[in-house]
Amino acid sequence: MKHLQLSDVEVVEIPWQEPVQTRDLPVIKAETYAERITQLRERMEQQGLSHVIVYGDREHFANTRFLTGYDPRFEESLVIVGLTGQPRLLVGLEGLYYAAIAHGVEVELYDKFSLQGQPQRGRSLEAILADCQVSSSSKVGIAGTKYHETDDLAEAAIVSDVPYYIVDLLIRAAGQDKILDVTRWFTDPTTGLRIPLTVDEIARNEMINQMVFAGMRRAISALEPGVSEAEISAKLGFDGSVPLSCHIVVSFGDNVGLALNSPTNRRLQLGDPLSVALGVWGANIARTGIAASDANDWGPEIEDAMEKVFVPYFDILLRWYKALHVGVRGGAVYDSVREYMEEPFFNIALNAGHLIRDEEWINAPFNPGSEDVLVSGTMIQCDIIVPATPPYPGVHTEDGLVVADAALRAQLTAKYPEVWARIQRRRELMQSLGYELHEDVLPLSEMQGQVTPYMLNPTQVLRLRK
């Protein structure tokens, strides 16, 4: 495929939309959680399992929240799902109060999940498991956060990131050959229960993207020489109503190389590399670029940065977005940008995008030769990061989207017409910049695909010449 040339691209002014913000987000109904338990039980019956036990903690909460609506905050949790009856949700003492938000479960205190030094008054895990009919006649699946994909642990009897004491107790209760890891059931890019979003979740995440965009717009608009990272971070306006999915990132100069550094008092200088990112449950927008108002601020050592960095990066995004649709193989999407992904100058270390949901990164199907396919309702991050190759700056344009088939699009149109209208406007804007989008592609970010060579002039973006 012919590479994009400097002569193919122009810089144009694209004014930012006014964000439509609301805290009145679509609610995931109790019936949805019940349907998820039913789906899990159907898979259990197919595989001959009597129980599935799902571990969660503050960092690894998403499987638990998917099944129950509850996310462990200070402590750990277990969801014990049998083939019949109400699932049992085990929580610590702090979580006992918050567990009132859970749907369709019986809540029980398990002391070992409480914070260190709190009163001990509940039953042992052994007693609780016995009460849930976990015994030598059981076959139990356990779900943690990551599933085993390589051969380096091939000799292990079981590979799980669930805490050892829980796995050990299950082995003693049911027998080692009756315990298997089923984390893949939740997070496999194609068959994972948690991969496709419902129409309510698509609308909810689109609205959350509006909130994140509002903060990003304020923060990026405030960039100027002399401002500190902490001052820009304050402009993001994070209010906690939708929890963070990753640390807030505002970095200038050498701090950009630390990638995940928290904001400091470092002040922005003209020509500095910079990064700004805000990620919450269901939305993440990030930008990396250079503190410049125009090419004159770049300096002579990178005067060809447009040709060397920004135009190729725009080419990556044009190819990547064009490849997306329901049913496409992850390997085919990778192949669309393979030349750039494997070019040493660009030094791209991460995947060509990944899946996102409550957590910022759920899995990544965009790998060489991947046979994973995108199912309808999959939410994806365009998260292709080109690090700095001295003396040139890095560039990163990260936004979220959903791929949706005709049936899901029809549901969204009928139930959330205002959300649908905003998505269609974004599609039209992206197409005006030169993107070719399959009808399945639903952009959720107001900044979708906008490559900004001058971060002090953030509404000037790259467009294919007409």
CATH of the domain at 106: 3.40.350.10
Per-10-residue mean pLDDT for the chain, 466 residues long? 92 95 93 98 98 96 98 96 98 96 98 92 95 97 92 84 96 95 97 98 98 98 98 97 96 94 97 97 97 94 96 98 98 97 93 96 96 98 93 95 98 98 98 98 98 98 95
Nearest to 52 by CA among 33, 34, 37: 37
Tell me: do 203 and 157 sit in the same domain: no
Domain assignment present for residue 249? The answer is: no
Asked whether the beta carbons of 161 and 146 are under 8 A apart, the reply is yes
Asked whether residue 11 falls in the same domain as residue 53, the answer is no
The predicted model scores a pTM of 0.96
CA nearest to 381, candidates 406, 362, 345, 355: 355
- 141: number of Cβ within 10 Å: 22
**Can you give the pLDDT at residue 73?**
93
| Structural domain of 60 | 30-187
Q: For residues 212 and 206, give the distance between their C-alpha atoms in angstroms, rounded to a whole number.
A: 10
Q: What angle do CA 351, 353, 355 make, to 5 degrees?
A: 115
Averaged confidence pLDDT in the chain: 96
For residue 411, tell me if it sits in a domain: yes
pLDDT value of residue 256: 95
Statement to judge: residues 341 and 458 lie in one domain: yes
Whether residue 174 is found in the same domain as residue 203: no
The domain total for the chain is 2
Residue 77 shares a structural domain with residue 167? yes
**Cα gap 220→239, rounded to integer Å:** 18
203 and 104 part of one domain: no
Both 40 and 157 in one domain: the answer is: yes
Same domain, 14 and 81: no
- Contact between 23 and 204 under an 8 Å Cβ cutoff? The reply is no
> What are the residues whose beta carbons fall under 8 Å from the beta carbon of 286, sequence distance 6 or more?
249, 275, 276, 277, 278, 279, 383, 396, 397, 398
- What contacts 202, CB < 8 A, 6 or more positions away? 377, 379, 402, 404, 408, 412, 416, 419, 442
Position 334 scores a pLDDT of 97
Neighbours of 432 (CB within 10 A): 13
pLDDT of residue 466: 84
Q: Which helix (H) or strand (E) holds 322?
A: helix 311-323
Helices marked H in 222-291 = 229-235
In the prediction, which pLDDT does 262 show?
Answer: 95
What's at 5, amino acid-wise?
Q
| The predicted structure's pLDDT at residue 155 | 79
Reference 433, options 32, 9, 5; nearest CA is 9
**Residues 94 and 14 grouped into a single domain:** no
The CA distances from residue 403 to 287, 406, 407, in Å, are: 22, 10, 12
**CB 323 within 8 Å of CB 336:** yes
